[in-house]
C-alpha cells in the first residue's frame, strides 16, 4: 500500500517534468528502434547481397539524387544510413548496458565490502580507486584498448568496465559508511543478524536508489566513451560498427561534403546521450540530489 503511494508520487512528479518525459520518450524510441532493427530497417546493411554499388553515396531522400528506401542517404558501400544507424544503435546500447551491468555490479560490491568491513580491504581498494580515478575513465580505456588492440565487442565491454567500476565503488562506499551508522543497523546487529543478512536485507535496499542514479548517468558516459574509442579505431571491430564507428567512416567524406554520413549518426548519438542525461538528471533530483554530476564525470 505504502509502496503504491510512493510510486504514484514519483509518477506524478515525472509527468509534471517535461524534460524528463521527453528524455525517457526519446530513449525508449531509440531502444525500440535498436531492438527491432531487423524489422524496421529497409535493408540489412551487413548482408552483402542486398548492397549495390549503383546506390553508393546517395544523398538523403528529399535531396536531388536520393532514392526511395534510403531515407538518410547511403554510404560508400551503398548501405542505407538509416539502416546502419539502427544496427549501430544495437552495438552502442549493447556496450552501454553491458558495461553498466558489469562495472555497476562489481564496483558496487567492492564499495559495499570496503564500506562495511573497512580495514585493509577498504584502504587497498580505495587507494586503487583513487589512482585509477586520477587517470580518468577515458584515458584508462585508451590505455587498456591501446595495449590489447581492437578485438571485438566483449573486449571493449571488459576494458571499459575495468576503467569504470571506480565510479560505483567510491559512491557506494560513501553511502554504506553513512548507512552503517544508522540505528536500525545496530538493532539488526543486536538481535544477532549475520553480516550477509545485514548487507542484503538492510544495506543494499537503502543504497540501491543511488546506484540507479549513478547507473543512469554512467550509461550516457559509457555510450559516449564507446563512440569515442570506436571513432579512434580502438573500439568495436569494423564488422559490427557502432554509431562512433559510423561517424569515423563518415569522416573520410567530410571534406567531400557528404555531410549526411556524419550528421545523421552524430545526431542520433547526441539525441541518445542527451535524452539519457535528461532522464538521469530528473532521477537524480528526485532520488538523491546530493549526488553531484561532477563526482561521476571526472
Partner 1 sequence: MYAYIIRRFIQSIGVALLVSFLCFFLFQYMGDPVLTMVGKRATQEEMEKVRESLGLDKPFYMQYLVFLKNALHGDLGKSYTNRLPVFDLIVERAPATIELATFAMIIASFLGISLGVVSALKPDSLMTRFIMAGSLIGVSLPTFLIGLLLILVFAVMLGILPPFGRGQIVQIGAWRTNFLTFSGIKHIILPGITLGFFELALILRLTRAEVGEVLGQDYIRTAWSKGLPGRVVIFKHALRNSLIPVITMIGLGLGELIAFATITETIFQWPGMCRLFLSAIYGNDYPVIVGYIILMAFVILFINLAVDILYTFLNPKIRYD
Give the interface segment with partner 1, choosing from 46-54, 74-82, 107-115, 131-139 (CB under 8 A): 131-139
Which of residues 146, 197, 208, 238 is near partner 1 by CB under 8 A? 146
Residue 288, interface with partner 1 (CB under 8 A)? no
Looking at beta carbons only, is 147 or 191 nearer to partner 1?
Answer: 147
CB of 232 to partner 1, least distance (A): 6
Q: Which is nearer to partner 1, 7 or 130 (CB)?
A: 130
Cβ proximity to partner 1, 153 vs 278, nearer residue: 278
Assess contact for 218 and 167: CB atoms under 8 A. yes
**Alpha carbon distance 34, 243 (integer Å):** 12
Task: Tell me how far apart the alpha carbons of residues 109 and 105 are, in angstroms, rounded to a whole number.
Answer: 6
**First-to-last CA distance in the chain?**
40
Q: Which is nearer to partner 1, 119 or 257 (CB)?
A: 257
CB of 220 to partner 1, least distance (A): 7
238 binds partner 1 (CB under 8 A): no
Give yes or no for residue 293 binding partner 1 (CB under 8 A): yes
Q: How far is the CB of 37 from partner 1 (least distance, A)?
A: 22
Per the rule left: phi > 0, alpha: psi between -120 and 50, beta: everything else, 70 is beta
CA-based nearest residue to 220, from 180, 284, 262, 279:
279
Amino acid at each position: 500500500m505504502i509502496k503504491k503511494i510512493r510510486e504514484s508520487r514519483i509518477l506524478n512528479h515525472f509527468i509534471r517534468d517535461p524534460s524528463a518525459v521527453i528524455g525517457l520518450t526519446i530513449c525508449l524510441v531509440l531502444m525500440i528502434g535498436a531492438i527491432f532493427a531487423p524489422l524496421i530497417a529497409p535493408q540489412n546493411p551487413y548482408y552483402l547481397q542486398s548492397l549495390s554499388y549503383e546506390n553508393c553515396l546517395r544523398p538523403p531522400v528529399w535531396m536531388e539524387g536520393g532514392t526511395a528506401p534510403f531515407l538518410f542517404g547511403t554510404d560508400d558501400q551503398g548501405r542505407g544510413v538509416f539502416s546502419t544507424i539502427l544496427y549501430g544503435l544495437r552495438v552502442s546500447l549493447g556496450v552501454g548496458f553491458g558495461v553498466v551491468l558489469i562495472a555497476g555490479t562489481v564496483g558496487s560490491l567492492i564499495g559495499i565490502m570496503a564500506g562495511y568491513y573497512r580495514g585493509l580491504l577498504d584502504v587497498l581498494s580505495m587507494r586503487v580507486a583513487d589512482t585509477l580515478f586520477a587517470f580518468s575513465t577515458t584515458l584508462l580505456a585508451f590505455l587498456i584498448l591501446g595495449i590489447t588492440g581492437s578485438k571485438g565487442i566483449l573486449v571493449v565491454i571488459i576494458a571499459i568496465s575495468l576503467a569504470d567500476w571506480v565510479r560505483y565503488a567510491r559512491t557506494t562506499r560513501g553511502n554504506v559508511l553513512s548507512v552503517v551508522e544508522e540505528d536500525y543497523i545496530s538493532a539488526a546487529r543486536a538481535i544477532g543478524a549475520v553480516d550477509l543478512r545485514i548487507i542484503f536485507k538492510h544495506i543494499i535496499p537503502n543504497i540501491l536508489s543511488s546506484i540507479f542514479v549513478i547507473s543512469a548517468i554512467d550509461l550516457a558516459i559509457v555510450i559516449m566513451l564507446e563512440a569515442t574509442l570506436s571513432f579512434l579505431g580502438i573500439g568495436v571491430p569494423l564488422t559490427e560498427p557502432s554509431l562512433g564507428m559510423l561517424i569515423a567512416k563518415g569522416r573520410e567524406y567530410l571534406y567531400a561534403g557528404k555531410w549526411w554520413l556524419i550528421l545523421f549518426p552524430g545526431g542520433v548519438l547526441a539525441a541518445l546521450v542527451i535524452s539519457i542525461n535528461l532522464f538521469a538528471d530528473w532521477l537524480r533530483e528526485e532520488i538523491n540530489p546530493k549526488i553531484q554530476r561532477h563526482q561521476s564525470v571526472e
